Structures are given as structure tokens and as C-alpha cells.
Amino acid sequence: MLHKSLFTVVMGAVGLLMLLPIVITFTNSLMSEFELNLNYGVIGKPTPVMSTDADTFVNLKWLPDQVTLAQYGQLLVYSAQYLLLFWNSVGLVVPIMVGQTVVAALAAYAFAKLNFRGRDTLFLVYVMTMLMPFQVTLVPNYIMVDQLGLLNRSGAVIYPGIFAAFGVFMLRQFMLHLPYAYIEAAKLDGAGHLTIFLRIIVPMVKSGLAALIILLFVDYWNMVEQPLIFMSDAFKQPLSVFLSRLSGQWDTVFAASMLYMAPMLLLFLYAETYFVEGVQLSGIKG
């Protein structure tokens, strides 16, 4: 009992520590530019060695002296760039999520429940692409995108994302645990593969699909390298690239970061149960 209580306390402390950056970002996003400059103005400035001046240290504050929402108004109302890039991100991430979920579910069903020659070998070759970092496939992908005429277009990011191997691997691991007896019973009733997939497989892997959608959203919402390389027009790039370049006004930086995190936090809180269940049943360990 003591060990369990100690473990709970330790894990609770770790959880609070992991939430600390989000809390600091939120509270700092409510501070004025003047107050933030007083707290973080020394960042990036040369600090004298062995200096005792208090102004050379960052003042990490939890609560603002005076709450202000002017920076949120600047981003959402007075400046069109943030909302433009926000919808750019939505226009890239949503097609990738929908496309990869559909393609991955169909491919996973074939690899998990259909018997054909070379199935396991083909799956092994397909999954080997997951072992290659983005930098290794950068040049071939760039050449292919250039030959297809997709440079500086959203398709340069969307199409490779739709046919990525991660979703196939995850859903196949999930479908391997489904009893084959359901499929045999459906075949005896005259059901084809499409009917079996839509009416039997999909309802049974809802939690796996939910987990995949959350992971895809987080992954592609935070992508920087792909749009930065394949899309040269700054007005076509997603919000993640904009944030990577954002600097200067601290109030705008914290407010933009908080707005950027909000969709991910809301999605995870809404589908937390499905996410945990889906990852557990898929057999994937972090």
C-alpha cells in the first residue's frame, strides 16, 4: 500500500512537471509586452561574467500583475496573417488525417485478414520506410514532387502524408487481435470484403482509429521541415512554420503559442479515453 501511494505521488509530481510549460505559457500570454520585457528582456543579451545585477537574470513569474488580452486581439482581429496561416494548417492537416486514416484502414485490413502471396514480405518492406528519417528521403521526395509539378503547392505535403506507413502499421497491429470467426460468419452470410470491412471491422476498431487520428493531428500540426522545403511561398505555409520564425514581441509569442496549442489540447481532452484504449490494444509502446 505504501509503495502504491509513493508511486502515485511520484507520478503526480511528474505529471505536474510536464504541465508546467503549458501553465507558464498560458499565464505569460496574459501579460503585457512591458511586463514580459521586464521578465525576459535579458534573454539574448550578453551577460557580464560574475555580475550581481538583478536585471541580468530572467524573472519567471506565474501570475501577471495586470491581465491583458490585447495580444490576442492583435493576432485574431487586427492581423490577418495568423488566421490565414491557421487555416493553411487546417487545410493541410485535415486532408492528411482523413486520407491516411482511410488508406491505412484498408491496407491494414488486407495485411491483417487477407491471405495472399508475399503478404508478410510486402508488409515488411512497407514498414521499413518508417525506419528512414525525413532527411534520408528528402532528396528523392523533392525530385518526385518537382517532377509531378507539386512544388509550392499543398499537394507536396498532403500526398506523401496520406500514404505514410505509420497508420498501416498501427491499425494492422490492432486488427490482428480481432477474431477471424467474425469474418467467417459474415462470409457464410454472403458478405463481401467491403461489407465486412465497413460493418464489422470498422466498428470494432473505433478506438484504434481515434488514436490514429489524434497521433496524426499532433504529428502533422507540428510539421516544419516538409512545408518549409516544399512550399517557398510564406503565405501558403502552415502556422507551425510561422511560429518557428516568430520572435521579438514576447506578448505576441506567448499568445500565438497558446492559440497554437489549443486545438491539440482540446482534441486530446475530448478523445483521451479512445486514445489510451487504442494505443494499448494496438500493442505500440512509447
Please check whether residue 10 lies inside any domain of the structure: no
Please check whether residue 1 lies inside any domain of the structure: no
What pLDDT, on the 0 to 100 scale, is given for residue 100? 94
Number of domains in the chain: 1
What letter would DSSP give residue 282? H
> What one-character-per-residue DSSP string does 150-210 give?
-TTSTHHHHHHHHT-SHHHHHHHHHHTTS-THHHHHHHHTT--HHHHIIIIIHHHTHHHHH
The model's pTM: 0.81
Please check whether residue 5 lies inside any domain of the structure: no
Count of residues in the chain: 286
Q: Exposure of 136 by Cβ count < 10 A (0-12 exposed, 13-18 middle, 19+ buried)? A: exposed
Distance of CA 87 to the CA centre of its chain: 16
Please check whether residue 86 lies inside any domain of the structure: yes
Report d(CA 268, CA 279) in Å as an integer.
13
What pLDDT, on the 0 to 100 scale, is given for residue 125? 87
Distance of CA 229 to the CA centre of its chain: 19
For residue 119, the surrounding DSSP H or E stretch is helix 119-128
Give the three-class secondary structure for 3: helix
Report d(CA 277, CA 68) in Å as an integer.
40
- Backbone angles phi and psi of 215, in degrees to 5: -65, -40
pLDDT in tens, the chain (286 residues): 677 788 788 888 888 888 888 888 888 888 888 887 777 766 655 544 444 555 566 667 778 888 888 888 888 888 778 888 899 999 999 999 999 999 999 999 999 888 888 888 989 888 888 888 877 888 888 898 889 888 889 999 999 899 888 899 889 988 888 888 888 888 888 888 888 888 888 888 888 888 889 889 989 999 988 898 898 888 888 988 888 777 667 778 888 888 898 888 888 777 777 666 666 655 544 4
Please check whether residue 162 lies inside any domain of the structure: yes
Please check whether residue 3 lies inside any domain of the structure: no
Please check whether residue 14 lies inside any domain of the structure: no
Q: Report how far apart, in Å, the C-alpha atoms of 285 and of each of 128, 170, 173, 247 are.
A: 18, 11, 12, 36
Question: Do 165 and 129 form a contact (C-beta atoms < 8 A)?
Answer: yes
- Reference 238, options 252, 254, 226; nearest CA is 226
Question: Do 158 and 97 form a contact (C-beta atoms < 8 A)?
Answer: no
What pLDDT, on the 0 to 100 scale, is given for residue 282? 54
**Boundaries of domain holding 117:** 22-43+66-282
CATH number, residue 177: 1.10.3720.10
Report d(CA 218, CA 26) in Å as an integer.
19
The conformational region for residue 283 under phi > 0 = left, psi -120 to 50 = alpha, else beta, is left
Please check whether residue 60 lies inside any domain of the structure: no
